[in-house]
A and B are shown apart, each in its own frame.
Chain A
Amino acid sequence: MPSTSRRRAWLSDYTWPLGYVAVIMFLFLLYQAILPNLIDEVSGPVAAWLPVATINECLMWAIMALGLNVVVGYAGLLDLGYVAFWALGGYTAGWLMAAPFNWSWNFHLFAPVAETYPGTHITFWLVILIAGCLCALLGVVIGGPTLRLRGDYLALVTLGFGEVITQFFRNSNDIDGYNVANGDAGIPIIDPIGLGPFSLIKGVPASLTNSGSDNIYKILVLGALLGLCLFVSLRIRGGRLGRAWLAIREDQLAASTMGVSLVRSKLLAYAVGAFFGGIGGVANAAGITGAVSPSGFDFSKSVLVLLMVVLGGMGNAWGVTIGAFLLAWLNSNGLRQIGVAVGAASGKNLEAVLPRYNFLILGLLLVLMMLFRREGLLPEKRTKALMTMPSRIEMESVGAHIAEAEAKTKAFTESTSDADAEIAASASAVSPHLEPPPERSARSVKDTDR
């Protein structure tokens, strides 16, 4: 029995990365080699319903959703200000890999831009790491004061922090006279993603701009980042820290009396979640938008990521990834395309209408999900158990209090009947006003026996 389960664990341990790589490679090859060689009737709809840019966005959002899943799904800490990390990640890219907006000091580190180009230019791959660490630090800073809070209060405070970060960047053109992040205008041209040694392979460009042909390679780049986040999510979940998070989610008080440090575990959850958020932020700034501005980092993005986590299946990395893909697709291309299709059938032009109502539609989707499938699309098995089955104690406790009371009374009368006489006798000896009725206690035993 243990040997088969261990073998199964081994299989799932090594099969999912292979499967994941296969899917990403398939997507890449589909757009790189297969679609261009197919007839328009086939390639046209595929490009319309699932363009490369949308796939990239989906991959980026999935990274974000996985990050929030660590905080909300694993550790059970509701975070409504997750956009803060996305923003800080984006701005880290803005600071470290863009043309200067305020200072003119030049620093190049493996960047895919000309040496003469002014400003700080560090390669995407290093910036990801820096942004991740910076966000993890911010996660700890934000997490610190909220450690004592739970539920509604935690949600409100994190929401506040999310807004604070956005407002900070909005007003960042004049922080005590310094232009820190160029305020409302944002930081426009962010360096493309450099591919370093991979560009030696024939046909691979040296860097990835936002042109359609380069976008295909971003499937690989973002796919690799998402793969890394998935890997970390799944591995960490199965270990000592993952267990501690689950225990905190279940019963914080019991967890702490069992030796789990609430402070450490919660801060680590915030840090890991924020690290992913930082990666997502850089991926978005350098890979998707090519610029950062405060208007992109509003509260609705926090809600969107939370929706992905909830709809996908809180706590399950795969479910969350699927939720992110679905919602990111709907948001970026799906709704428009559905609008086109419905419009073609009804004779009205709905192409621009549906995307405008995206939050109405997503909200409706959420309501429907909560009514019919609360546990999410691909739930964790324990969440499913919680939502679909009452607990055994609960089921058995219907009427149990009566049986329990009877058992207790019986136990008491049985066990005390011998001691009772003694006690009563000694009690009557000291205090005569205490009723000492041995005959009554004998009768009561008979009563319960009947």
Chain B
Amino acid sequence: MSQPATDASRAGVHEASANVLYADHITIRFGGLVAVSDVSFGIPPRSIVSLIGPNGAGKTTFFNVMTGLYQASEGTVYLDGRDLTGLKPNRRAALGMARTFQNIRLFNLMTVEENIMVAMHTHLRSGVFSTVLRLPRQRREERAAADAARELLHYVGIEKTQGELARNLAYGDQRRLEVARALALRPRVLLLDEPTAGMNPRESAQFNEFVHRVRDEKDLSVLLIEHDMSVIMKISERITVMDHGHVIAEGPPEEIRNNQTVIEAYLGKAGGGARKTTQS
């Protein structure tokens, strides 16, 4: 029992150094239910990879383990070869892991600019005293942060909304703001949880382009969770398919598209369901 475990961990260490983010044999149990079972998953540097699967496959649970919202029952997550076990979400964020949420979670009653500046928290140094006395260093730092926030807003194309409360933004702009907020962490890896949910086809196409641009310009890796096949096929370089907590397939989009297990477990069912709704 112990022998394979050490072998696995040795392999894990090797994989961990080759990938920006590497999840090594992750298992997550809720009571007697196994939500994620022995999943290993790596994100190579400067890549766009996706995690897909039908509802309840364990994608978001897996995501939450990587960002530190849950602790894995078994297994280890590495960021840049560093073991993240036991680190709180904020520590992982400081180390370069940024995420968005499936159902947008902005700080609704803060302005757009403040939303972004919250995410700069780990990059700012000023403490209670320098803030109260407003020392020159703190003033400089705040001004630089505000400028950087404006730049990010410009980058995602919502610079006009800067002073608005986040809750007043249109849905699409809120999605953009969430990405801008994640980028403010200056992450090594960006985790997007169903970013195109609620977008029309044109918007999601624009979003695809945007993700590529972010990857190229900000020098980071992107992990997407999606169940919308069209988005995934066009955007990802590698796809991992999960079902019932297991990885059932892994590979480039063309391969996944023709993978029989995937079709049976995922596309067959989803396709049939969609047809039924359109017919009625």
Q: Which of A287-312 contact B (CB under 8 A)?
A: none
Q: In the complex, what residues of B have CB within 8 A of residue A258's CB?
A: 90, 93, 98, 118-119, 121, 181-182, 184-185
Closest Cβ–Cβ distance, residue A224 to chain B (whole Å): 16
Q: In the complex, what residues of B have CB within 8 A of residue A385's CB?
A: 109, 165, 167
From known contacts A386-B109, A391-B108, A426-B258, infer whether A257 and B69 are also in contact, taking CB-CB under 8 Å: yes
Contact A235 B132 (CB under 8 A): yes
State in angstroms the CA–CA spacing of A275 and B99 once bound together.
36
From known contacts A392-B167, A392-B168, infer whether A259 and B278 are also in contact, taking CB-CB under 8 Å: no
State in angstroms the CA–CA spacing of A53 and B209 once bound together.
69
Quick one: closest B residue to A5, CB to CB? B163
Contact B170 A236 (CB under 8 A): no
A388 contacts partner chain B, Cβ-Cβ < 8 Å: no
Q: In the complex, what residues of A have CB within 8 A of residue B119's CB?
A: 258-259
**Looking at the complex, which of B13-21, B28-36, B123-131 is the stretch in contact with chain A?**
B123-131
Q: Which of B94, B106, B132, B184 has the most chain A CB within a 10 Å cutoff?
A: B132
From known contacts A240-B131, A411-B230, A427-B263, infer whether A256 and B90 are also in contact, taking CB-CB under 8 Å: yes
Contact A231 B132 (CB under 8 A): yes
**Looking at the complex, which of A82-90, A175-183, A320-328, A433-441 is the stretch in contact with chain B?**
A433-441
Q: Mark B157-185, 1 if CB is under 8 A from A, else 0.
A: 00000000101111100100000011011
Q: In the complex, what residues of B have CB within 8 A of residue A201's CB?
A: none
State in angstroms the CA–CA spacing of A430 and B258 once bound together.
11
A41 contacts partner chain B, Cβ-Cβ < 8 Å: no
Contact B274 A412 (CB under 8 A): yes
Q: How many A-B residue pairs have CB under 8 A?
A: 190
In this complex, how many residues of chain A approach chain B with their Cβ under 8 Å: the count is: 64
State in angstroms the CA–CA spacing of A124 and B142 once bound together.
36
Contact B99 A257 (CB under 8 A): yes
Q: Mark B124-148, 1 if CB is under 8 A from A, else 0.
A: 1011100111100010001000000
A416 contacts partner chain B, Cβ-Cβ < 8 Å: yes
Contact B229 A447 (CB under 8 A): no
A260 contacts partner chain B, Cβ-Cβ < 8 Å: yes
Contact B105 A259 (CB under 8 A): no
Closest Cβ–Cβ distance, residue A272 to chain B (whole Å): 7
Quick one: closest A residue to B117, CB to CB? A243
Contact A259 B93 (CB under 8 A): yes
In this complex, how many residues of chain B approach chain A with their Cβ under 8 Å: the count is: 68
State in angstroms the CA–CA spacing of A262 and B93 once bound together.
13
B107 contacts partner chain A, Cβ-Cβ < 8 Å: yes
Quick one: closest B residue to A232, CB to CB? B132
Contact A431 B264 (CB under 8 A): yes
B74 contacts partner chain A, Cβ-Cβ < 8 Å: no
Q: Mark A234-246, 1 if CB is under 8 A from B, else 0.
A: 0110111111101
Q: Mark A248-264, 1 if CB is under 8 A from B, else 0.
A: 00110111111111110
Contact B260 A259 (CB under 8 A): no
**Looking at the complex, which of A126-134, A153-161, A204-212, A402-410 is the stretch in contact with chain B?**
A402-410
Contact B229 A415 (CB under 8 A): yes
B248 contacts partner chain A, Cβ-Cβ < 8 Å: no
Which single member of B131, B171, B201, B204 contacts A239 (CB below 8 Å)?
Answer: B131
Quick one: closest A residue to B138, CB to CB? A239
From known contacts A256-B90, A444-B279, infer whether A240 and B107 are also in contact, taking CB-CB under 8 Å: no
Q: In the complex, what residues of B have CB within 8 A of residue A414's CB?
A: 201, 230
Q: In the complex, what residues of B have CB within 8 A of residue A427's CB?
A: 260, 263-264, 267-268
Contact B165 A404 (CB under 8 A): no
From known contacts A258-B181, A391-B167, A411-B228, infer whether A383 and B257 are also in contact, taking CB-CB under 8 Å: no
Q: Which of A232, A238, A247, A262 has the most chain B CB within a 10 Å cutoff?
A: A247
Contact B228 A412 (CB under 8 A): yes
Contact B118 A255 (CB under 8 A): yes
Closest Cβ–Cβ distance, residue A376 to chain B (whole Å): 15
Which single member of A383, A409, A412, A426 contacts B260 (CB below 8 Å)?
Answer: A426
Can you name 11 A-B pairs with beta carbons within 8 Å? Answer: A240-B124, A241-B127, A241-B128, A246-B107, A257-B98, A383-B109, A391-B167, A409-B277, A423-B271, A427-B263, A444-B274
Give me 5 other A-B pairs in contact (C-beta within 8 A), A412-B229, A426-B258 excluded: A239-B131, A247-B110, A257-B69, A259-B93, A391-B167
Report which B residues bind A (CB closer than 8 A).
Answer: 67-69, 88-91, 93-94, 98-99, 101, 104-110, 114, 117-119, 121-122, 124, 126-128, 131-134, 138, 142, 165, 167-171, 174, 181-182, 184-185, 198, 200-201, 204, 228-230, 233, 257-258, 260, 263-264, 267-268, 271-272, 274-275, 277-279
Q: Which 8 interchain pairs have the tightest Cβ spacing?
A: A415-B230, A239-B131, A259-B93, A259-B122, A382-B109, A444-B278, A250-B107, A254-B105
